[in-house]
């Protein structure tokens, strides 16, 4: 069993071009948030910034936009049509147009569930760039996993916890590692099965288990941070399996740094965000 450690991350992280500009380090799009879930889009977009993305766009329902705009200093939120606090079907056209100019897209953090918002997620399956689906982006496909066949030949990453994994049709009967491998191969996707010793599986059958992280990260918002980190590394052009593994390790290492400074009980997802740069410094 291969394990993700610091040497793996150090050997796979892309080198920063000292002459590069913001357009060289990835333009990424987060499609997140709904009324009542205004923290998730901010956690995800900030994580993308902290992990090195050059430009981070954040699409949210229009009634969430003012909250996201106040909380966002680096990411660029923009409002989208909504229906009862969640994305309306008409948001899809604007998102597909924006995604066409981006290097990677994330959908799902705090998105909520409705027929129309689920439909927006289905429409985003047509983007050509790497697509990360988290939380309600995954739940939108539950019972409709056949729609992932539209992504064949393109990079797709799913980041479920065990409950989301089971709702999506996964099985843990043979254990987390075998369950992740089987699911990734069946659907042609990269899978990050979150939890103690997070598992990363590729559609080709490669699997690695993470070595960082602690119970202080078991709080709402931590997964949004991870999703933003995966998005960022994919947008910077990393090979998908390596991007997933590096994001998982760095996310856990940031959590370990937060726990060392503040203790596991009182640390927050914001504390993770603030320690991503230290985790990157160590690995580089």
pTM: 0.98
Supply the pLDDT for residue 1. Answer: 75
Supply the pLDDT for residue 221. Answer: 97
Phi, psi of 86 (to 5 degrees): -120, 165
Q: How far apart are CA 75 and CA 127, in angstroms?
A: 21
DSSP-derived secondary structure letter, 247? H
Q: How far apart are CA 204 and CA 56, in angstroms?
A: 30
Supply the pLDDT for residue 258. Answer: 98
- Ranges of the chain whose pLDDT falls below 70: none
Find, among 207, 202, 172, 173, the residue nearest to 188 by Cα.
202
Q: How far apart are CA 80 and CA 152, in angstroms?
A: 28
Tally of CB atoms within 10 A around 5: 14
Find, among 48, 107, 93, 98, the residue nearest to 78 by Cα.
98
Supply the pLDDT for residue 24. Answer: 86
Supply the pLDDT for residue 162. Answer: 97
Phi, psi of 152 (to 5 degrees): -55, 130
Supply the pLDDT for residue 20. Answer: 86
Does the domain at 2-10+25-283 match CATH 3.40.1190.20? Answer given as: yes
Give Cα separations from 173 to 47, 162, 205 (angstroms): 33, 12, 18
Assess contact for 144 and 122: CB atoms under 8 A: yes
Supply the pLDDT for residue 21. Answer: 87
Q: How far apart are CA 134 and CA 190, in angstroms?
A: 12
Q: Which sequence spans correspond to the domains of the chain?
A: 2-10+25-283
Integer Rg of the chain from CA: 17
Helix (H/G/I), strand (E/B), else coil: 265: coil
């Amino acid at each position: 069993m291969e394990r993700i450690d610091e040497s793996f991350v150090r050997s796979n992280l892309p080198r920063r071009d000292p002459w590069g500009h913001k357009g060289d380090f990835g333009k990424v799009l987060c499609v997140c948030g709904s009324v009542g879930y205004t923290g998730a889009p901010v956690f995800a977009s900030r994580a993308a910034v902290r992990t090195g993305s050059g430009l981070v766009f954040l699409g949210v329902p229009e009634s969430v936009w003012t909250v996201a705009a106040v909380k966002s200093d680096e990411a660029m939120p923009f409002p989208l049509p909504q229906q009862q606090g969640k994305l309306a079907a008409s948001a899809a056209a604007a998102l597909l147009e924006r995604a066409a100019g981006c290097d990677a897209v994330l959908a799902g953090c705090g998105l909520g569930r409705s027929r129309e918002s689920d439909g927006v997620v289905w429409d985003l399956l047509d983007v050509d760039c790497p697509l990360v689906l988290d939380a309600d982006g995954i739940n939108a496909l539950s019972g409709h996993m056949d729609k992932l066949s539209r992504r064949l030949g393109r990079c797709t990453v799913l980041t479920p916890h065990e409950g989301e994994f089971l709702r999506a049709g996964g099985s843990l009967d043979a254990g987390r590692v075998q369950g992740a491998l089987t699911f990734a191969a069946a659907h042609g996707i990269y899978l990050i099965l979150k939890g103690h010793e997070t598992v990363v599986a590729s559609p080709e059958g490669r699997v690695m288990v993470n070595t960082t992280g602690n119970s202080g990260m078991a709080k709402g918002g931590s997964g949004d941070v991870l999703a933003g980190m995966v998005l960022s590394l994919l947008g910077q052009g990393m090979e998908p399996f390596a991007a997933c593994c590096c994001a998982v390790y760095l996310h856990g290492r940031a959590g370990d740094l937060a726990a060392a400074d503040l203790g596991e009980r009182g640390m927050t997802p914001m504390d993770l965000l603030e320690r991503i740069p230290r985790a990157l410094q160590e690995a580089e």
